[in-house]
Amino acid sequence: MNNIVKNIILTPMNILYKMSPELCLKILFKAKLGYKLNLENPTTYNEKLQWIKLYDKNELMIKCSDKYTVREYVKSLGHGEILNDLIWSGFNPEKIPFESLPNQFVIKVTHGSTFNIVCEDKGEINIEKTINLLKKWLKADFLPCYGEWFYGVEKPRIIIEKYLKDTQSQALYDYKFFCFNGEPKLVYIDTWKDNKHTINAYDMKFNLLPEVKLGYENDLTTKVPKPNNFDEMVYYAKELSKDFLHVRVDFYNVDGKIIFGELTFTKSAGFGKISPHSFDVKMGDWIKLPS
């Protein structure tokens, strides 16, 4: 379901959010996760994400939730070496220089998590359809009632980045480090099985946690080897998360080179099911909220 349809369906909740953000989030939370949201004494990970959306107004979250301006943040910390190559950026898709682009590239709209076009062969891309799709994505707003106030504050733009391919593996794994007050505690790795999105969770010693599910099914048949530079990835995760109560730091690992992906502050807007419930509580304990 796209954001336009969701906005129409959730119009009453969008109106309610303007009047009472706390009440709106409590209703959505109960509907999606099946238990009451306790904002006075939050304990689970998802409860604390709701608290962060409501009360943590760290303005760095605005810059770092945008896929273009987050690059400035990474550079400001002295880690520009982990950024992917930026081929082009701009606000008007009609100005994309398709004729001069390499044969393979990735197009992203900077304020969304799914607004991506992966081009493996420029000869097969329909330029007119691509431009129209990008125009549509640029106009898309995040659902107001979900409370992710930091998305879309920066003017959305288009970026085109280098196509990434690991020659040592058939899969380009996405390593997502969950960091709490600057300390990585958990990493999950996106895999794909039979065109289905799957996720495996690991602790910081790279032990597989087969019983943990973070919104997707596990793929226990895929054995992901521990990267030789895993400790270096942990270092970068610490560096990029130290200014926040909680953030997920994403990397690719391409032929042994670490490439920054993005920062995510509220996974699934704090409505993603985590099982077992005890692990939702454990992750919540890792977030130390201010008194």
Terminal C-alpha separation, the chain: 38
Q: Which pLDDT value is given to residue 159?
A: 98
Domain coordinates in residue numbering, the chain: 3-286
Residues of the chain whose pLDDT is less than 50? none
- pTM for the complete prediction? 0.93
**Domain 3-286, CATH 3.30.470 — does that match?**
yes
How many angstroms separate the CA atoms of 56 and 16, rounded? Answer: 20
Phi, psi of 47 (to 5 degrees): -65, -45
pLDDT computed for residue 291 by the predictor:
79
Using alpha carbons, list the distances in angstroms from residue 160 to 93, 193, 253. 11, 27, 19
pLDDT for the residue numbered 4: 62
At residue 1, the pLDDT reads 54
